[in-house]
Amino acid sequence: MLIKNGLVFNPTTNFMQQADILIKDGKIVKIESNINDSSENIIDASGKWVVPGLIDMHTHFRDPGFEHKEDITSGCNAALKGGFTTVCCMPNTNPVIDNKCIVTYINSISEKTGLNLLIAGAITKGLKGESLANIGEMAFLPNVCGFSDDGKTVMNSKLMKTAMNYIKPFGLPIFSHTEDHSFSGGAMNAGQNAQLFGIKGIGREAEEIIVARDIILARETGCKLHLSHISTKGSLDLIHMAKTVWGMTNLTAETAPHYFSLDDSLLGDYDTNKKMNPPLRTKSDVEAIKEGLKSGIIDVIATDHAPHHYDEKNVEFENAPFGVVGLETSFAISYTNLVRTGILTPLELIEKMSTRPAQILNQDSGKIEVGSVADITIIDTEKAYKINKSEFLSKGKNTPFDGMEVYGNIEYTIVNGQIFYQSANTYTNRKYLFKLSNKTELPLSKKLCV
Ligand code: DOR
Ligand code: ZN
């Protein structure tokens, strides 16, 4: 395969230049200003971004147990459509991903989809917070990339410290959910707006107490700690302190697009598609999150893709489950709100959506270099379009961004040198629609070949 004339990104070397990329046997073999090879399929990427495949560190695929919300195949297809070549799924399934059997089940399905599906094993058995899961058994299985009780916090601090001590020698990170459950029970951010709308609040201290605790435990144990879905200014201050004053290099953090795009003043419509955990915070938190992304206090943008069925969300705000989908909107929301507004440079965005996640997850991807695996996403950043949830491949349509005008359309998702998603926009002849989940290369429209 030959990708011609695209704007090629490699955040690891600060490279952003028009170039051609030659791919053979799943690897990048040449990156030069003009490559000609008539024996190869050619993608004309003129005017497009050619970036290392996007990597999502935090997604919920609901399978096994809640397949009416999402199953592994629909989730993988949604990820590929969103430009992701690697995704890490969280263990709050039923049964919980806390043993070899469930990991093997997930691997057996995901290997047919094309996506690199990584798995976060549970820290505690059944996510109950009582005793450690079969961590040693899971740590050596293919695609297990870390451990988390996401959706829940391991509330017993001593058990969390034991988990860190136990996991550290495996070199894998813990992804911490950061919520003190003694403050649970609310439905939106505590504060003026919660009072105005008459909804019980969740204070920012619920997040910040566990951020502080887990930083202290990670400093003590040396275990790699990744703080999930950071949403408050106070959390940023704590992470900043840990990274700069304490010099912690084993600490990373993520936020999600809704935390830098939306705030709690928007909840007056009681739209349950804006309900997630942690909740949308205030305008000043949103500004702080943007600054934290710019300064590098926050390393990663993840989706926290949390699909729920329409019937589950179509209830009173207080009774709806927490969570919004994100795989098919994450790039466009991030690009539109962070790059087109001048907050992040294009390279900084790709670093947070691919290169840093690859490093944290110990993956040999997240870069476009000769010799590296050909996981590549091609993106049209110039044409505006409206997000339309009915076009999602995810079973979950619970997005707060439906109807929003954005920039950043995913045109191709290439994994291991094979096209697994191709936008209908790229075909001049509409009858060639993309086909997913068959692990075969898609036919390129002749008209696209130059
Ligand atoms: O909003 C959320 N939804 N936050 C979480 O931490 C869990 C997730 C889910 O699983 O639905
Ligand atoms: Zn989550």
All domains of the chain in start order, with CATH: 53-360 (3.20.20.140)
Is 304 among the catalytic positions?
Answer: yes
What mean pLDDT do residues 110-118 have? 95
Q: What percent of the chain has pLDDT over 70?
A: 95
What pairs with residue 20 in β-bridges?
32
Contact by Cβ (8 Å): 269, 98 = no
Confidence of residue 14 (pLDDT cuts 50, 70, 90): very high
pLDDT greater than 60 at residue 123: yes
Q: What DSSP line would sit under 354-403, residue for residue? A: IIHHHHHTT-S-S---TTSB--EEEEE-SS-EE--GGG-SSS----TTTT
pLDDT greater than 60 at residue 299: yes
Q: How many CA atoms lie within 13 A of 140 on its CB side?
A: 3
User: In terms of DSSP H, where are the helices of 222-295?
Assistant: 233-244, 257-261, 283-295
Cis peptide bond upstream of 346, omega within 30: no
Of all ligands present, the nearest one to the C-alpha of 322 is 1
Confidence of residue 431 (pLDDT cuts 50, 70, 90): very low
First to last CA, the chain: 12
Poorest-pLDDT segment among 80-84, 311-315, 438-442:
438-442
Q: Are strands 116-121 and 409-415 parallel, antiparallel or unpaired?
A: unpaired
306 lines ligand 1 (CB under 6 A): yes
The token pair at 446 is: 């002749």
Residue of higher predicted confidence among 231 and 434: 231
pLDDT greater than 60 at residue 437: no
202 lines ligand 1 (CB under 6 A): no
pLDDT tens-digit series, residues 25-65: 999 999 999 999 988 899 999 999 999 999 999 999 999 99
- C-alpha 49 to ligand 1 mean position (Å): 31
Of all ligands present, the nearest one to the C-alpha of 127 is 1
- C-alpha 270 to ligand 1 mean position (Å): 18
Among residues 94, 155, 92, the alpha carbon closest in space to that of 122 is found at 92
Whole-prediction pTM value? 0.95
- C-alpha 148 to ligand 2 mean position (Å): 9
323 lines ligand 1 (CB under 6 A): yes
Shortest-distance Cα residue to atom 4 of ligand 1: 277
What mean pLDDT do residues 276-298 have? 98
Q: Which of 71, 299, 304, 380 is catalytic?
A: 304
Beta-strand ranges (E) seen in 113-256 are 116-121, 144-148, 174-176, 188-189, 201-202, 225-227, 251-255
309 lines ligand 1 (CB under 6 A): no
Instruction: Give the residue carrying structure tokens 């349509």.
Output: 397
- C-alpha 62 to ligand 1 mean position (Å): 11
Which ligand 1 atom sits closest to the C-alpha of 324? 1
**Which of 57, 59, 60 to mutate to test ligand 1, by most ligand atoms within 8 A of the CB atom?**
60
Which ligand 1 atom sits closest to the C-alpha of 323? 1
Among residues 267, 269, 303, the alpha carbon closest in space to that of 193 is found at 267
275 lines ligand 1 (CB under 6 A): no
**Which of 56, 150, 305 to mutate to test ligand 1, by most ligand atoms within 8 A of the CB atom?**
150
- Mean pLDDT of all residues in the chain? 95
Shortest-distance Cα residue to atom 5 of ligand 1: 151
Instruction: Give the residue carrying structure tokens 């098919």.
Output: 328
- C-alpha 60 to ligand 1 mean position (Å): 8
208 lines ligand 1 (CB under 6 A): no
> Hey, CA dihedral for 256, 78, 401, 52, is it positive or negative?
positive
pLDDT score, position 38 = 86
What mean pLDDT do residues 286-290 have? 98
What mean pLDDT do residues 132-152 have? 98
- C-alpha 277 to ligand 2 mean position (Å): 8
